[in-house]
Amino acid sequence: MISTNKHLLTYLHHYPLVFLILFLHVLNFICHAEDHSTNLSKNKAWNHSVSAILIFGDSTADPGNNNYIQTPFKSNFPPYGRDFMDQIPTGRFTNGRLANDFVAKYIGVKENVPPYLDPTLGIEELMTGVSFASAGSGFDPLTPRISNVISLSKQLDYFKVYQSRLEAAIGKKRTKHLIKNALFFVSAGTNDFVVNYFTVPIRRKSYNLPTYMAFLLQQVQLFMQGLWDEGARRIGMAGLPPMGCLPIVITINAISRRGCIDFFSAVAREYNIMLLNELSAMQFRLANIGARIAYMDIYGPLADMTQGHKFGFAEVSSGCCGTGLLETAFLCNPTSFVCPDASKYVFFDSIHPTEKTYSIIFQSLQPTVDYILRD
């Protein structure tokens, strides 16, 4: 043993650089192992403190509820879902996963969030969370009627039925505990402007932009109160994206060159400020009785992608499907041309982001998710 140590000291004396490199490699390995252990512990901790994920909203959160209703707003056919597991077009308006799928995996409740209307869902699947969202929906009651989709109020009704189903299976006490410890995620509002206010003249006859925003916030208040009354305590609500950067908005409104149209993005910024203030006021009022309500910024990361040209995207103003200028839903179909690599595009069709975009949005939202779930 003494001889071995002597030889080792002699070796280190003659080859100090080799020793330094070896030492740094070992240190790097230890640090990575600790980071990995910390991340596993973090996810494990979230898994213990979060019972389920429950989603409400529009196409940014709908994993396929529209498959089960009579509406043209569907995406349960190729090329949608081409990069999803087994290349299955589930009804998600993208090539792969949505942001809430990444959130579900991060908090440790499930890999992907299923649609509530799927008749094959068993009680175990229901217990860990579902999405009630419907592509084409919005806070304005008129918006879902335009597309014949599921309104936010109907989604809330489905949530009540969902609780009754859980109570029948696991009892009222366990159901109440599950709802209290669930993460609620709401993503809606874009259709209220893009599909409704700026396209159909009905609301513009009664509201200018400031009063329409105030009207939408009243609907947000009603919906949030409904969630609260049904036991929701941890709620994240997404704001609007830079609407002027949506390919379809650019196509319809651009005069010459393709590029983000600031008028529509400015509307989104103003609305987001009002929404942030409203959610902050709710959090202040309800904090002492267990609320954790937060605004989730999607405008910032999408603006960075479309205007700041960050994250290495090759195409930021048109979608991967078809011409990328107008196609969405049934116009983006099995006969459409599709780009070879969707990860180089911010948008998959003329409205909806690619899986890569949703992944980046999720990463930007992680601190907010952590805040909502923090004890």
pLDDT at residue 19 greater than cutoff 90? no
User: What would the mean pLDDT of 279-307 be, rounded to a whole number?
Assistant: 95
User: What would the mean pLDDT of 225-253 be, rounded to a whole number?
Assistant: 97
**Cross-strand bridge partners of residue 235:** 184, 293
- What are the boundaries of each domain within the chain? 50-253+262-300+355-373
In this predicted model, what pLDDT tens digit does every residue of 53-109 receive, in sequence order? Answer: 999 999 999 999 999 999 999 999 999 999 999 999 999 999 999 999 999 999 999
User: What would the mean pLDDT of 274-283 be, rounded to a whole number?
Assistant: 97
- Give 281's contacts (C-beta < 8 A, 6+ positions apart): none
> How much is the pLDDT for 48?
53
> How much is the pLDDT for 23?
41
- Give me the active site residues, please: 59, 349, 352
Which CATH architecture does the domain made up of 50-253+262-300+355-373 adopt? 3-Layer(aba) Sandwich (3.40)
Please give the mean pLDDT across all residues of the chain.
89
pLDDT at residue 10 greater than cutoff 90? no
> How much is the pLDDT for 47?
52
For the full predicted model, state whether its pTM sits above 0.85. Answer: yes
What torsion do the CA atoms of 92, 97, 102, 103 make, to the nearest 10 degrees? Answer: -10
> How much is the pLDDT for 256?
79
> How much is the pLDDT for 34?
39
In this predicted model, what pLDDT tens digit does every residue of 153-165 receive, in sequence order? Answer: 999 999 999 999 9
pLDDT at residue 37 greater than cutoff 60? no
> How much is the pLDDT for 309?
75
- Give 136's contacts (C-beta < 8 A, 6+ positions apart): 58, 59, 66, 71, 73, 143, 144, 146, 147, 148, 149, 191, 195
In this predicted model, what pLDDT tens digit does every residue of 366-375 receive, in sequence order? Answer: 999 999 998 7
High-pLDDT (> 70) share of the chain, % = 87
Question: What are the backbone dihedrals phi and psi of residue 54, each rounded to the nearest 5 degrees, phi first?
Answer: -125, 125
